[in-house]
Amino acid sequence: MTAEPLRLRNLSPVILRQRLASASLTLDYGAAVVRLGSDLAGFVADLQRVYGAFALVDAAFADFHTQIRGGRGLRAYLRPQSRFLIDGVQPFDPFPQEQALAHFEWGVNWCFAQRFNQHVLLHAGALALADRGVIMAAPPGSGKSTLTAAMMLRGFRLLSDEFGVLCPRSGQLWPMLKPLALKNRSIDVIRDYAEDVILGPVYKGTRKGDVAHLAPGDTSVDARRLPAHPRLVIFPSFRQGAALSIRRLPAEEAFAHLAFNSFNYEVLGAISFNAVADVIEHCPAFALEYSRLDEAIESVRALLADARAASERA
């Protein structure tokens, strides 16, 4: 019987603060490992809440070395700031210190988007049932993150809300498991959607509006080293009061939406083209318009089952 991992939610705040102070806290997202240090006391509780299911790990290697530090000089006392550093360098402007968790999340996303080019990074959510992967791609404001969060809360395994990490060699989707960033109205929608929702603080008036982070569940975290095979591509769109609508997309339309929505398509060139083309060749793609979450989720389950049956007949 496998022993239950020591999760961050069970860690003493004192020990967690010590880990952060010595820059020795390691967060294993699956496809990448991030080492984190911080000297901000208020950051500890927020981090522990949304990363509570993550195991305490001691990794000899980390892909990224990050820090969340307070402001320097008078900024340490007047209008305190949060500074994000990668390899000791501060790549963008500070945030208000009370938004340190949001700052860290955006900072790590920036690192992945800028420096993680061994995989094709689709600007998409990714989930799975067993090893059958669903790619969820849509522009901001489409309801993608809300639907992704609801699917996780209804039994899908979350791989990522932001990065569909597609391995160009194996064609598999790798988890890049981080807390889901919910914005504005979707915060209340997801808070009311299930009993076991764990949300971090609501940060009002950020650069992206009101933001809160949904903690991934134990099942998704424990499977962060298990890839999935792409089986379905969904382009969701929320429209208030709309009846459920599902439309099969031609391969060329689906390819354009998916490929040109990736973070590093131009950087990887032919590698990205071939990897995305392979996904579109083997996965049916649908535009899904919805207004009710449970109805949309059941339609995705049905489409995934149909895709599985079709692949077994082929």
DSSP code string of 11-54: S-HHHHHHHHHTT-EEEE-BS-EEEEEE--HHHHHHHHHHTTTS
pLDDT for res 5: 84
Whether 23 and 158 map to the same domain: the answer is no
Q: Considering its fold, how many domains does the chain have in total?
A: 2
Whether 147 and 281 map to the same domain: the answer is yes
With a cut of 70, list the residues of the chain below it in pLDDT: 1-2, 74-76, 312-314
* 274 within domain boundaries: yes
* 1 within domain boundaries: no
Q: How far apart are CA 246 and CA 299, in angstroms?
A: 9
Residue 79: C-alpha distances to residues 35, 67, 102, 180, 224 (Å): 27, 20, 17, 28, 38
Question: pLDDT tens digit string along 94-149?
Answer: 999 999 999 999 999 999 999 999 999 999 999 999 999 999 998 888 889 999 99
Pairing of strands 95-96, 203-206: unpaired
Residue 229 in tokens:
């095979």
* 51 within domain boundaries: yes
pLDDT for res 60: 83
pLDDT for res 147: 97
pLDDT for res 75: 64
Contact call for residues 225 and 193 (beta carbons, < 8 A)? no
Q: What is the pTM of this model?
A: 0.93
Whether 93 and 143 map to the same domain: the answer is no
Whether 104 and 206 map to the same domain: the answer is no
pLDDT for res 108: 97
Domain with 30, as residue range(s), is: 8-115
Whether 170 and 54 map to the same domain: the answer is no
Whether 79 and 146 map to the same domain: the answer is no
